[in-house]
């Protein structure tokens, strides 16, 4: 079963890459535009740190590490998660999801792998470059356990992002228009470019437990800096499993609300 789904994923990836490479000019242009917006989004960080040496205990180099993780995850989100799941909303609205549900494979897997945007890989590479530059500014390197913990957190962060998108898309089965909700989610995700300790009060609680942005970018940065407690790493892994389980149950239940175009 696992081999079969791995094969399906490989086919979808090859199809997306071949489709993108048909228009190589657009492929390169989209990559350059992604780089432009990435460095433009870093402007507030330079402005804020021009006035002070640290914010909420985070130096410029340490905050740059958080930005690196944010950029990397943004590449994963916009390159591998959003393109497919945005199409699901249109399928539900037009009542054409039957073509997916009738296929002999898991519907959630199929709707999650219908399309990829390979040029978003530039964000992943840029995020890695920012992380390397941040450690250059800090005049130190990450520890081996820190790198291992950060890789584990990269997996949990990807699972969390995917689960939250599944929850958002599932709302389309009962709410006709969820475009505003998806835009709202993307706006909220932008807050992950800042260390979580900047946010106080209700926002700190929301960004840690309700929409765990802290887990996605601040935790990996702290792991690489060698100051993330082991219990936080364990809680992050457990939390991602809980989110994935809840998202799966909600998806299966939401399909029951689906009404096709022929109904």
Q: Give the pLDDT of the chain (263 residues) as one tens digit per residue.
A: 778 888 888 888 888 877 777 777 777 777 777 778 777 777 788 888 887 888 888 899 899 999 999 989 888 888 888 887 777 777 777 777 777 777 888 888 888 888 788 777 788 888 899 999 999 999 888 888 889 999 999 999 999 889 988 888 888 777 766 666 667 777 778 888 888 888 888 877 887 777 888 888 899 999 999 888 999 899 989 989 998 999 999 988 888 777 665 55
Q: Does 120 map to a domain?
A: yes
Distance of alpha carbon 40 from alpha carbon 59, whole angstroms: 20
Q: Does 263 map to a domain?
A: no
DSSP readout, 51-90?
T-SEETTEEHHHHHHHHHHHHHHHHHIIIIIHHHHHHHHH
Q: Does 147 map to a domain?
A: yes
Could you tell me the residue range of the domain that residue 219 belongs to? 1-257
Q: Does 143 map to a domain?
A: yes
CA of residue 182 relative to chain centroid, distance: 13
pTM: 0.85
DSSP code of residue 140: S
Total number of domains constituting the chain: 1
Does residue 230 contact residue 145 with C-beta atoms inside 8 Å? no
Distance of alpha carbon 140 from alpha carbon 70, whole angstroms: 21
Q: Does 189 map to a domain?
A: yes
Q: Does 262 map to a domain?
A: no
């Amino acid at each position: 079963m696992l081999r079969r789904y791995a094969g399906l994923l490989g086919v979808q990836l090859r199809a997306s890459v071949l489709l993108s490479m048909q228009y190589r000019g657009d492929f390169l242009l989209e990559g350059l535009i992604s780089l432009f917006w990435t460095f433009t989004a870093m402007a507030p960080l330079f402005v804020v740190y021009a006035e002070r040496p640290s914010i909420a205990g985070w130096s410029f180099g340490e905050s740059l590490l958080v930005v690196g993780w944010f950029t990397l995850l943004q590449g994963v989100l916009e390159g591998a998660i959003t393109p497919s799941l945005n199409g699901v909303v249109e399928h539900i609205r037009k009542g054409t999801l039957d073509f997916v549900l009738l296929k002999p494979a898991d519907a959630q897997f199929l709707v999650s792998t219908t399309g990829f945007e390979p040029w978003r890989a530039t964000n992943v590479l840029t995020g890695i470059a920012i992380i390397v530059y941040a450690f250059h500014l800090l005049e130190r390197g990450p520890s081996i356990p820190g790198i291992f913990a950060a890789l584990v957190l990269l997996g949990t962060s990807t699972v969390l992002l995917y689960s939250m998108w599944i929850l958002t898309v599932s709302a389309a089965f009962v709410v006709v228009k969820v475009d505003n909700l998806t835009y709202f989610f993307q706006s909220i995700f932008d807050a992950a470019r800042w260390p979580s300790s900047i946010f106080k009060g209700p926002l700190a609680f929301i960004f840690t437990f309700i929409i765990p942005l802290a887990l996605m970018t601040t935790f990996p940065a702290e792991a690489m800096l060698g100051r993330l407690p082991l219990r936080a790493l364990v809680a992050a892994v457990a939390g991602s499993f809980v989110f994935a389980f809840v998202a799966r149950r909600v998806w299966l239940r939401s399909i029951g609300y689906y009404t096709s175009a022929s109904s």
